[in-house]
Chain A
Amino acid sequence: MKIGIPRALLYYYYSPFWKTFFEELGIEMVISPKTSKAILDKGIKESVPEICVPIKIFNGHVVTLLEKDVDYVLIPRMVSIKKGEFFCPKFMGLPDIVRHSIPNAEDKILYPQIKTNSDNLAKATDILQLAEPLGLSYSELKSALKKAGKEWARFNKICKKGYLIPEANKLMQEKLVKAAPRSGDITIGLLGYVYNVYDEFVSMNVYKRLQDLNVNLVTFEMIRNKDINKYLKKMPKRLFWTFSNKLMGAGHYLNNNPGIDGIIHLSAFVCGPDSMLGQVLESETQKTKKPFMTVRVDEHTGENHLITRIEAFADMIRNSKKKRRWA
């Protein structure tokens, strides 16, 4: 049996989890190739025009997988991974979007509902309902879940040591992982959802480009939960979306951290949660005079404008740092 996993949306955050889970069960996992123009175009064809680009990309990956003759495509219905918080409505309705807008998807998708209270999906018991379509027993799934949860926790720990997700994935084999080396001369906080930051097509490799400019990066996965929650607790009303809250907490933390020289907010066009988050981050960074830039991406963004902007941003930070040193 072959299970297709779209390389889109929360794949980047949960890939070690699903990988271990299906390896344990002895099921072949087919991950769609990296996002390309062809995949995006397939997605655009099956999506409503107004929807944000990450969803279009996701649809493209699902179409690509269906063409590959997989038995099922896994599309977890992300409802909540924290009490009182949800995902963006589009995530909650994602399986419904897919099964009603992509032809032939109706009987080919598995959509366990994820409703739990931790980032670690090991306790999302609805995943056990996959037992029937996969033709396996509950106990097999249970032990696989446990193992997957452990692996994911290890992965998460590596991230917290200061590694970006692709780096952390490479380090999974090693037993002891040291804190990430910091060789750049400036440090920038890169705030954005995993599916925008790590999708090399839509973000046009922004994190690698920044690293090439000799910049140290801090993303929300690297910041300890304690630090994120410290700032969230002070807010009168939190946002409703878990990952937006993480970005919010991380943003506040970075904003008040003198070691951070600037913040870049990477967001997709018409992203609803970001329209609220961005406004708060912008007004907060104005108070502390921390350099802040919003980069908005969609299917039409050109590469050159992005390069120019991040280069200018890094240069500006370097200059002001130099001036401060001489002053």
Chain B
Amino acid sequence: MKISFPYMGTTILYKKLLEILGHEVIMPPRPTRKTFDLGVKYSPEFACFPLKVITGTYIEALEKGAEVLVTSGGHGPCRAGFYHEVHERVLKNIGYDNEIIVFDALKDNFFKVLSSFFKIKANNSFAKVKEAIKTVYKMSYSLDKLEKEVTKRRAYEVTKGEFTTAWRKIKELYDNKVFTSEDVEKVELEAYELLNSIKIKEIPEQEKIRIGIVGEIYVVMEPSVNMEIEETLNSLGVEVERSQYLSEWIEFTLVPSRYSKSHEYEILKKADKWLEIGIGGHAKQSVGFIVDFYDRGFDGIIQLMPFGCLPELVAQSIIPKMSNELGIPVLSLSIDEQIGNANVQTRLEAFLDLVKSIKFEKQNKSNIISLQDIINRNRIANRTKEGIL
């Protein structure tokens, strides 16, 4: 059975899992303008942007010959849990009658998850499935570790583009060389050698700028949707870390809480003061990660969200006060099919100027302009852009 899936983050992980289990994988193409257009054309007008992109991806994958689509479900109250229902209707409307296999959370619909599991398991033995899961689990950790390294070092590369090329090569390495969980370590060593061979500029510690990215999981994790924001920031000479990584998502969502060693529980605790209950999506994580990045000495935060995202809007409402109280600048960017590269680039550059001026003023302790003033100025500038003032 030819399987495909939504395109998000390091997609070779899903590919690997399905391949080890002996399925033929139709790799969904990386989302492009064409994908967005297809998605926008067929999705409900006010659906959130990730739904539209995934609609486009599904159509492209089905055109490439996929027979079955695999995706994750959800239990609300964020819209994402209802995606597959809408997708099924949309695809049926344009004449695709393909099956979508959904993995809901185990506790919501045990039997459906079980039946989905057996569809994917096919004729493989349980031992093989276990090995496949173990391999992918290890791989996700290893890849995320490397990616963090890339988005850190890329800020200081001597020749532009070397790390991006290396990162692509690393993903190919994992794709071609990892077949069992033992392979992961060997390949990881190789990957590190590759990264270490790239020349980087020496920058004194106090001049390094670190930016944390928080927000809705899809737009945070998928570079083609957020206009390669990490790469753009790196090219402007700052280190970047995200709130969402695939390994963290697996640890938090799929591993039962009793065995999970997820960092996210701590993060949620940090958000308690601001957002008392979980309200779906990743709003509470976004808020928690802002506190976490602040605690770890980051210099600025960027919040990414799809236009009209329900949970992230709640987080966005809280952010101005957080930014004021913690004294860390935050830029909120909402993303949809109409956003342009130049717009984002300009806003990022302006934001980084602000971050730098705050940082260096703090270091020089010359209190000509207080921190508060700068943040207020930033807020006003932001709001002017959004069209309030």
A residues in contact (CB < 8 Å) with B = 44-45, 47-51, 77, 79, 85-90, 92-93, 95-97, 100-101, 113, 236-237, 239-241, 269-276, 278-280, 283
Contact = CB atoms under 8 A, between A and B. Distances in A.
B237 interface: no
Interface string B302-325: 000001111101101110111000
A278 B388 contact: no
A92 B46 contact: no
Contacts, number: 121
Given A93-B317, A276-B47, A278-B44, 12 more contacts: A48-B316, A48-B317, A49-B387, A51-B313, A90-B310, A93-B279, A93-B311, A93-B314, A97-B314, A100-B321, A279-B44, A283-B93
Interface in B79-127: 79, 81-82, 85-86, 89, 93
Interface residues of B, number: 43
A100 B310 contact: no
B22 interface: no
Interface stretch (B70-78, B153-161, B243-251): B70-78
Contact of B81 (A51, A101, A240, A278): A240
A293 to B, nearest CB: 15
B133 interface: no
Given A279-B44, A283-B93, A241 B76 contact: yes
Interface string B4-39: 000000000000000000000000000000000000
Given A51-B313, A275-B44, A97 B307 contact: no
Contacts of B316: 48, 50
B93 A89 contact: no
Given A50-B334, A92-B279, A279-B89, A272 B79 contact: yes
Given A50-B316, A276-B79, A86 B280 contact: yes
Interface in B60-77: 75-77
Contact of B310 (A89, A96, A239, A280): A89
Interface of B: 44-48, 75-79, 81-82, 85-86, 89, 93, 274-277, 279-281, 283, 307-311, 313-314, 316-318, 320-322, 332, 334, 383, 386-388
A97 B388 contact: no
A275 B279 contact: no
Contacts of A85: 76
Contacts of B76: 85-86, 239-241
A89 B318 contact: no
Given A50-B308, A276-B44, A279-B44, A89 B274 contact: no
14 contacts: A89-B283, A92-B77, A92-B277, A93-B277, A97-B314, A237-B82, A240-B75, A240-B77, A272-B310, A273-B79, A275-B79, A276-B79, A276-B82, A279-B89
